[in-house]
Amino acid sequence: MLTRTKRETLTFRHPFSLKGVDRRLAAGEYEVATDEELIEGLSFPVYRRVATMILLPAGAGQLFSIEMVDVDPADLAEAHERDQAVQATATSTVKPRAP
């Protein structure tokens, strides 16, 4: 089967957690790779997701290592939405001072 990989960078402004990752992750930019395979036999191209992975800096003591972790895309999206909501709430609650 024909496969493709889509890559995107997600920015987290606050520390966050993901199911399947045994540590809290620092705020920052994270590369996410999604592998999809072509469903053959249709009259138009359709791909289905077969894996979603996030690239993480390896644990303490391994400065130059990167770990690729398989994640649930719904869990990743939920963590990112929570992070963005915290940022939006913090921004909307700051009121300018009167002169």
The whole-model pTM stands at 0.77
For 27-69, how does the pLDDT look when each residue is reduced to its tens digit (9 = 90+)? 999 999 999 999 998 899 999 999 999 999 876 666 678 889 9
Residue 71 falls inside a structural domain: yes
In a domain, residue 20? The reply is yes
Cβ neighbour number for residue 56 with a 10 Å cutoff: 19
For the chain, helix (H) and strand (E) counts, in that order, are 1, 4
With respect to residue 99, please indicate whether it lies within any of the assigned structural domains.
Answer: no
Is 98 part of any domain? no
Q: How many domains does the chain have?
A: 1
Asked if residue 93 has pLDDT above 80, the reply is no
Tell me the average pLDDT across 62-89: 86
- Tell whether 73 is covered by a domain: yes
In a domain, 54, yes or no: yes
Percent of the chain with pLDDT over 70: 82
The DSSP string of 76-88 is: HHHHHHHHHHHHH
Q: Is 26 a domain residue?
A: yes
